[in-house]
Amino acid sequence: EPEVTQTPSHQVTQMGQEVILRCVPISNHLYFYWYRQILGQKVEFLVSFYNNEISEKSEIFDDQFSVERPDGSNFTLKIRSTKLEDSAMYFCASSVYGNEQFFGPGTRLTVL
Amino acid sequence: ELKVEQNPLFLSMQEGKNYTIYCNYSTTSDRLYWYRQDPGKSLESLFVLLSNGAVKQEGRLMASLDTKARLSTLHITAAVHDLSATYFCAVDPTWAGGTSYGKLTFGQGTILTVHP
């Protein structure tokens, strides 16, 4: 069964460094998303992406964040200058028509 | 701002018992999703509820949606240990007649523990 994959599974970085989290959505899906979950808290929407542009973003998704679909398969989230409070699990998701979303296994980001 | 509230937040159940998790939300939407999350794992899609009165069942779980009351329920029948997990409801308010951006707003999650 097709699934969303994410790499790396765990990323440790120093405050102020740039990180890129990678996702490969399910191949026939058209909508892509990033969410984050701070430990013990609920899942929060960051951004949705369709037709090579951002459809919607939350207030969390400020200028430090960017997304890209550099080729036909990858979908990336870049954090330019990480802060301690960016430490969280980041989930990528994809859907066919913007309906049911399938989530990847997540990348745990630890900012020291 | 859309608010999604689940209750209870913690649920400790005995095997074989029935219980219901409630999900209330604050704005008009006819798209609601239930997800399961095991510790340290990703979110697994359980149910997609797309209209008022929708009811879906899978094994010991049944989900329903009342868009007028802005309420969804997840009913657990004869609980077993394997159902222990965190359950999230999520609402998509951005559906607009054929186009959806899928900006899900999640509830806080209900941590379900089933013991003998």
Q: What is the pLDDT of residue B89?
A: 96
Does the residue A112 lie in any domain? no
Mutation target to probe the B interface, by most B beta carbons within 10 A, among A100, A102, A107, A108 is A100
Find the closest chain A residue to B96 by CA distance: A98
State whether residue A44 sits within 8 Å of chain B by CB: yes
Gap between the Cα atoms of A62 and A46, Å rounded? 9
pLDDT tens column, B43-96: 999 999 988 888 999 999 999 999 889 999 999 999 999 999 999 999 987 655
The answer to whether residue A79 sits within a structural domain is yes
Question: For A85-101, what is each residue's pLDDT tens digit?
Answer: 999 999 999 998 777 89
CATH no., domain B4-115: 2.60.40.10
Q: Looking at the 3D structure of chain A, how many domains does it have?
A: 1
Tokens (6 digits) for B33: 């999703």
B42: closest chain A residue by CA:
A105
B90 near A CB under 8 A: yes
pLDDT at B33: 94
At B29 the pLDDT is 74
Report if residue A63 sits inside a domain: yes
Which of B72, B42, B69, B44 has the alpha carbon at shortest distance from B56? B72
**Average pLDDT for chain B:** 90
Q: What percent of chain B clears pLDDT 70, i.e. is strictly above it?
A: 93
Integer angstrom CA distances of residue A32 from A18, A55, A99, B7, B107: 22, 10, 11, 29, 21
Mean pLDDT of B26-51: 89
Domain holding A45, by residue range, is 5-100
CA distance B114 to B83: 7
Q: How far apart are CA A78 and CA A20, in angstroms?
A: 4
Closest residue by Cα to residue A72 from A8, A106, A28, A19: A28
Looking at residue B16, what is its pLDDT?
96
Per residue of chain A (112 residues), give pLDDT as tens: 789 999 999 999 999 999 999 999 999 899 999 999 998 888 999 999 998 999 889 999 999 999 999 887 899 999 999 999 999 999 999 998 777 899 999 999 999 9
Enumerate the domain spans of chain B. Answer: 4-115
User: What would the two tokens of residue B13 be?
Assistant: 């159940």
Tell me if B57 sits within 8 A of B49, measured CB to CB: no
CATH number at residue A28: 2.60.40.10
